[in-house]
Amino acid sequence: MNAESLYPTITSTVGGFFAGIIVGYFLKKIIKIIMFVAGGVVALLLYLQQEQIISVNIEKLEALSTFIITSFASSLDKITHISDVNSLGVPLVGGLSAGFAIGITKG
């Protein structure tokens, strides 16, 4: 086995690993920012309701949040297809998934 024949496998694995770390890190940061803003909006609405400045229908707010979460989950089901991942190659997908896991946990 020649060392030059391993270069494409090594570069796709290492490149996928570092790309996975970057994607996982930034995805975690974006999710934190979105959750902070959403929590602030809900807290502001509840505070304004407590001060009787506005009236918030909690049932409609709960139904809206449930609809958003279920539509997001169903869109994720449509995005992930095993056939699309298989066409990328095992070394790239393995490196990408390992890097993504590290980026999400350490980010």
Number of residues written out for the chain:
107
pLDDT of residue 22: 92
pLDDT of residue 83: 55
pLDDT of residue 94: 84
Tens of pLDDT, residue by residue, the chain (107 residues): 677 777 778 888 888 889 889 999 999 999 999 999 999 998 998 899 999 999 888 898 889 889 988 988 887 777 665 555 556 677 888 888 888 888 888 87
